[in-house]
Structure 1
Amino acid sequence: MREISLDRLRTLVVISQLGSFAAAARQLNLAPPTISLHVAELESRVGATLLTRTRGQVRPTVIGETLLVRARRLLTDAEMALDEVRNQVQGLTGRVRLGASTGAIAHLLPEALEHLRSEHPGIDVQVQVLTSQASLVQLREGLLDIGLVALPQVAGKGLAVTAWRRDPILAYMPADWQPPAAVTPKWLAERPLILNDSSTQLSRVCTEWFATAGLHPQPRIELNYNDAIKRLVGAGYGATLLPQEGEAMEADPRLVCRPLRPGLWRQLGIACRDARQERATTFVLQALERLGQ
């Protein structure tokens, strides 16, 4: 069954508003025969007369009025849909799906999101807690637009990973341990440890730091939630190695942090699809890049 064209419906609406085929032709910038053809096609499609001429005035029939009610609604909906798409193309609105670790979400993203909300309030950033590998997988599958990932990473076909920021890794310990001014692998390996899960890039970096001193300590527990790790440290359960992510919102007097000797760094990158980005995604990337600087 042939569909009814929106152009034909628009013609019917304009004729009913102006009461004239000729006036409708002028407003729509169409030839008068085209206007007549549009009406004839609609009448053929519905199987009834839609317009009548009375004393030189064109008026809709009862059936024509019924179709006009629906036609106006359809044309309004179509225009609203086009407006929404135009706004998204221009970056005024849009949805951006972003994956990151709990630490990045808690300590790094808020500043970028606050800036984005000020500059581009119509952009909705949907954040998911994901490991670096999970973010890359979802990017490849088209389920994610941006991933904050620990470096180094092999992007793979269709993805791009760029360096974003470099944060020092510090030792966090119970305050009553009285640690030295700078913590060495040997000093820390002799104490109970709470470290990140072995599947994470942070775990691999910390393992290499101990290995440079010929040490391979076994942690008491492995977790991926940095705030939970710090709570355990504060409770005296052990020490940990974590990146310094932004400023601490509230200092915990039960724990202290010290720099490492030799120094250690956690590098983060921004992963996204290696293709032209939607404007909304571009604006989110710009907000993140500003934070990285």
Structure 2
Amino acid sequence: MRNLNLDQVQTLIAIADLGTFAAAAQALHLAPPTISLHVKELESRMQTHLVARGRRQAELTPAGRALVQEGRKLLAASDDLIDVVRLRAAGGDGLVKVGVSAGVGMQRLPLMLDALRRRNPRVELKLEAVGSAEAMQRLQAATLDVGIVASPQPAVARVALMPWRNDPMVALVPASWEAPETVTPEWLSTRRWASFAPGTQMHGLIAAWFGQAGFNPRPFLTLSYPGALKALATANQSAAILPLDEVDDQQRTPEVLIRPLSPPLMRPMAVAYRSSPTPNEAMTAVLEVLAEFST
């Protein structure tokens, strides 16, 4: 039985992403007849139509969409395999894939990377931006090695959790608002404030902070990245509740004020990692560096 041709799978993914055979040909630097041949051979291999015919825009059939969805995973695994082989050929110890959520402070991450590079230059880190729930699923599926996740998390087979950090949350407020020395749910509920996207740990934490005080205000805007929330406060558009380490770079910014919350709000985080099979030397090195940044 013939195996799938990954170049042909990549062609179908390009068609799905770009909308036409011509655009896929241009992006992949292939002749248009080659694009058509790739699709024809894939369809022959699958014994089904993958692209609907007779349409100006290329529209995938349900089978085509399924192949694209799973094909992306195949291409990612292929890239990882190439990275591992190249790393070993260069004398490296291994590649460790780490999932990092948007709530992890970008001020701290470069320090962790630098510490790993100095201590274990033969270990290569591949960072991926993933939410906590997705990270746990991918750890179980062995497509991630380590994840920095919200805590607590439901127990998952072959995945271990170790407490990592418990960071205080603060309010980042436009300076023109003349905010009180401590920000309460009552005060903030009457102002414009932005929050993390629904379904994230941060969104739930902030909603619970308001709820425990008897308030249920609707955020002015929800966004996925701390940097965007900080920009809104700097532009005098809204307040935001963020981890303290995320706003360290705003300490001397005249456009904003950093205020503690009352009652206090903490953001607990954990390091999740694949515990079976036993972590190799490269994974152990990464876990040791993360442990150093737990306080």
TM-score bin (small chain):
0.5 to 0.7
The alpha-carbon deviation at position 96 of structure 1 amounts to 0.5
Note closer, same or farther for the CA distance 1:155–1:116 as it changes in structure 2 (3 Å cut).
same
Deviation at 1:125, TM superposition (A): 0.4
Q: Computing the radius of gyration over CA atoms, which structure comes out larger, 1 or 2? A: 1
Deviation at 1:246, TM superposition (A): 5.9
Match of 1:120? Answer: 120
Q: Which moves more between the two structures, 130-139 or 96-105?
A: 96-105
Distance in structure 1 (CA, Å) of the matches to 2:105 and 2:241 = 18
Aligned residues: 208
Distance 2:223 2:155 in 1: 25
Structure 2 unmatched ranges of 5 or more:
1-84
Contact preservation (8 Å) 2:105, 2:246 = no
Cα distance between partner residues in 1 of 2:157 and 2:147:
15
CA contact (8 A) 1:103 1:245 kept: no
Residue 274 of structure 2 corresponds to residue 268 of structure 1: no
Alignment-derived partner of residue 287 in structure 1? 289
For 1:123-179, what per-residue CA distance to the aligned partner results, in whole angstroms no more than 9, with x for missing partners?
110001111111111111111000000111113112111110111000111011111
Deviation at 1:122, TM superposition (A): 1.1
Where does residue 5 of structure 2 map in the other structure? none
Matched residue, 2:157: 157
Separation in structure 1 between the aligned mates of residue 246 and residue 227 of structure 2, nearest angstrom: 13
Structure 1 residue 256, shift from structure 2 partner: 1.0
**Residues of 1 paired with 2:213 and 2:105: CA distance?**
33
Aligned-partner Cα distance in 1 for 2:179–2:192: 14
Moved over 4 A (4+): none
Distance 1:97 1:246, change over 3 A: same
Rate the CA distance shift 1:176–1:145 in 2: closer, same or farther, 3 A.
same
In the superposition, the TM-score normalised over structure 1's length comes to 0.67
- Alignment partners' CA distance in 1, 2:94 and 2:105: 20
Output the TM-score relative to the length of structure 2.
0.67
List aligned pairs for 1:24-35, cutoff 5 A. none
Cα distance in structure 1, aligned partners of 2:137 and 2:284: 21
**Structure 1 residues 217, 246: CA separation in 2 closer, same or farther (over 3 Å shift)?**
closer
Secondary structure at the residue paired with 1:136? helix
Q: How does 1:99-114 map to 2 (within 5 A)?
A: 99-104=99-104, 106-114=106-114
| CA distances 1:219-244 after superposition (whole Å, capped 9, x unpaired) | 11101100111001111111111111
* TM-fit CA distance, 1:107: 2.2
Aligned-partner Cα distance in 1 for 2:147–2:155 = 11
| Paired residue secondary structure (2:117) | helix
- 2:221 is matched with 221
One-letter amino acid of the counterpart of residue 171, structure 2:
A
**Percent of residue pairs bearing the same amino acid type:** 33
Equivalent position amino acid for 2:262 in 1: R
Give 3-state SS (helix, strand or coil) of 2:171's partner: strand
> What is the distance in 2 between the residues matched to 1:241 and 1:249?
15
Aligned counterparts, 1:63-212, within 5 A = 84=88, 93-104=93-104, 106-212=106-212
Q: Secondary structure at the match of 2:258?
A: strand
Relative to structure 1, the CA distance from residue 230 to residue 247 in structure 2 (aligned partners, 3 Å threshold; closer, same or farther) is closer
What whole-Å deviation, never above 9, does each CA across 1:42-74 have from its counterpart, x for those lacking one? Answer: xxxxxxxxxxxxxxxxxxxxxxxxxxxxxxxxx
Confirm or deny: 8 A CA contact 2:226 2:246 kept in the other structure. no
Residue of structure 2 equivalent to 1:235: 235
Partner of 2:60: none
Say if 1:139 and 1:105 are closer, same or farther in 2 by CA, change over 3 A.
Answer: farther
Q: State the one-letter code of the partner of 1:223.
A: L
Q: Corresponding residue for 1:38?
A: none
User: How far is 1:202 from its partner?
Assistant: 1.0
Q: Give the counterpart letter for 1:184 in structure 2.
A: T
| Contact 2:106 2:246 (C-alpha < 8 Å) held by counterparts | no
Provide the rounded CA distance (Å) in 1 between the counterparts of 2:245 and 2:157.
Answer: 30
Supply the AA of the counterpart residue of 2:203: S
Q: Distance between the aligned counterparts of 1:205 and 1:180, measured in 2?
A: 22
Whole-Å Cα distance in 2 between the matches of residues 231 and 155 of structure 1? 36
After superposition, the C-alpha distances for 1:251-291 in whole angstroms (9 at most, x for unaligned) are 43211110011101001100011221011010000000001
Q: Could you tell me how far apart the structure 2 residues matched to 1:245 and 1:285 are?
A: 21
SS across alignment from 1:248: helix
Matched residue, 2:280: 278
Contact 2:193 2:238 in 1 (8 A): yes
Amino acid at match of 1:120: N
